[in-house]
Amino acid sequence: MLPTVIAPSILSADFARLGEEVKAVETAGADWIHFDVMDNHFVPNLTFGPMVLQAIKPWTTLKIDAHLMVEPVDALIESFAKAGADLISIHVEATRHLDRSLRLIRSFGKEVGVVLNPATPVAALDCVLAEVDLVLLMSVNPGFGGQAFLPHVLDKVRDVRRRIDALGKPIRLQIDGGVTPETIVPLAAAGADTYVAGSAIFKHADYAAPIAALKAGAARAG
């Protein structure tokens, strides 16, 4: 298992103070910054574009993990790569040519992530798992923050963990949706190592406390 990573989703941050919010969660112990990109097409919400990512880049030394919930995706891969994303994750459901899109991310020198919605079977990873740095399993239906965790995703976490371990590569297994100090315990026990948390962090006045609680929950499972 790789070391635990907590990646606050700035979707739940104060947009009027976005740079300061990014710096605050870094100071509070965050490991990555998660950047949720929604297009009101692939998902029923609209968030931010590459110019916002470019604007927050100087505010942090952490890895920026761009999760593209958009369709079509290829043109925006280039835009977010040039804006400064360090890792770009795309949905298997959002492209007809998954291998081509993943190779496009790699061509810009970025780490590569692949995402599955809650109802998408793990078998969708069969032909691409060896080519990625991260698998992101959605534990809510994408589009909005603050949703409740879907328990059936735990079986998918176990399945993907077995596949990663059999492959023998240091591929991260990320979870996005309903991650709290309570749900992180069974998620870590099932084999996840990287966690996106939005409202569970940003609803608190002191960001250090919930980040520490999440890390403690993951450690308890180990």
The catalytic residues are 36, 176
Q: Give the long-range contacts of residues 157-160, CB within 8 A, separation 24 or more.
A: 157/187, 157/190, 157/191, 157/192, 158/190, 158/191, 159/122, 160/122, 160/125, 160/135, 160/191
Record the tokens describing residue 68, joined without a space.
């593209």
Order across the sheet with 32-38: list the strands: 5-8, 194-197, 172-176, 134-138, 111-116, 87-91, 63-69, 32-38
Q: What is the DSSP letter of 131?
A: G
Taking alpha carbons only, the member of 94, 44, 96 closest to residue 67 is: 94
Q: How far apart are CA 11 and CA 34, in angstroms?
A: 8
Contact assessment for residue 67 and residue 115, using Cβ atoms and an 8 Å cutoff: yes
Give me the residue label for tokens 């962090």: 201
Q: How far apart are CA 63 and CA 79, in angstroms?
A: 17
Q: How far apart are CA 87 and CA 90, in angstroms?
A: 10
Q: How far apart are CA 122 and CA 217, in angstroms?
A: 26
